[in-house]
Amino acid sequence: MTTTTAPAAGAVAPRHHTPVRRPSLLRLTGVEVRKLVDTRAGRWLMITIGLATAAIVTLQLIYAGDADQTFLNFFVPSLLPVSVLLPVLGILSITSEWSQRTALTTYALVPRRERVVAAKLIAVSLTALASVLTSLAVAAVGTLVASATGGAGTWQFDWSLILNAAVLQVTSVLMGAAFGLLLLNPPLAIVGYLLLPTLWGVLGEMVKPLRGPSEWLDTSKTMEPLFSSDAVTGGQWGRIAVSLLVWMVLPLAAGLFRTLRREVS
């Protein structure tokens, strides 16, 4: 027996402590944010999201015409690669608990599973909002560089674009999380998330009777106005809402139901 493994006297004595309170949602959200970045995979996903933004702006600086080098033209395209990567973050945040089997620990410490799920959804939404700030910052740097190197470097843009960007990125990450909750398996959820809406989009193009519904249900179509510099109309918001109901709210509800009932082992 070595000294390192000798039980220190008193150290394992069960203490009688004052009544303990349950962890707040804020605390749980903090834990979930930390889980997003405390593994190599998570950290690299975050870094990749940041790099994608920077890469788009750099490409614009090199290849776009001088007149097109505006803040608006840096900001809007930088949203696209991020909106593709964020759902992966949402999926992994939910499914890694099951694939890495940490659910056993997580749900033993917080048996009210809906609180963990809520904390995860808040954590990934905060990440999505942070990505919008990153896009804004990188676009600002791009604009400064552009004005120094002969580009237009104009700052003119509509503030509603920031709201649109926030809606786009938060719903992207939540759609991913919803697929993760529903399928509870990383490869399945990622493939499902990438494949199903695309398949639906292709079908909408090919099959004539589906063209009408696809105007309302194909997220790649309904979300398009969020990228444009024109204000999003009420009708367009309606379509966004309907498509999100199908691709985000329904999987979230069904996934939550499944997660709450699933046996953890």
Partner 1 sequence: MITVENLTKRYGPHPAVDDVSFQCEPGTVTGFLGPNGAGKSTTMRMICGLTTPTAGRATVSGHPYQELPNPGREVGVLLDASAQHAGRTGREALTLSAYTMGLDRREVAAKLDLVGLNAVAAKRRVRAYSLGMRQRLGLAHALLGDPRVLILDEPANGLDPEGIFWMRGLLRDFADRGGTVLLSSHLLREVEAVADRLVVIGGGRIVAQGDKNELLAGGGTVVRARDSAALRRALEVANLSAADSSEGLLVQADAEAVGQAAADAGVALAELRPASGGGLEQLFLTLTAGESTKEAVR
Interface contacts to partner 1, rule CB under 8 A: 1-2, 4-9, 11-17, 19-23, 27-28, 30-31, 34-35, 38-41, 96, 100-105, 107-112, 261, 263-265
Rounded least distance, CB 264 to partner 1, Å: 4
Neighbours of 165 (CB within 10 A): 25
Rounded least distance, CB 12 to partner 1, Å: 5
Joined tokens for residue 20: 């303990």
Rounded least distance, CB 131 to partner 1, Å: 22
Whole-number Cα distances in Å, 156 to 19, 110, 115, 140, 143: 57, 48, 42, 12, 11
Q: Which is nearer to partner 1, 168 or 181 (CB)?
A: 181
Joined tokens for residue 252: 């979230």
Q: Which is nearer to partner 1, 105 or 220 (CB)?
A: 105
Nearest to 188 by CA among 123, 55, 94: 94
Q: Which is nearer to partner 1, 12 or 62 (CB)?
A: 12
Cβ pair 63, 100 in contact under 8 A: no
Helix runs in 149-262, H state only: 160-183, 186-206, 208-217, 219-222, 234-244, 250-261
Rounded least distance, CB 77 to partner 1, Å: 32
Rounded least distance, CB 185 to partner 1, Å: 16
Q: Which is nearer to partner 1, 39 or 228 (CB)?
A: 39
Q: Which is nearer to partner 1, 16 or 208 (CB)?
A: 16
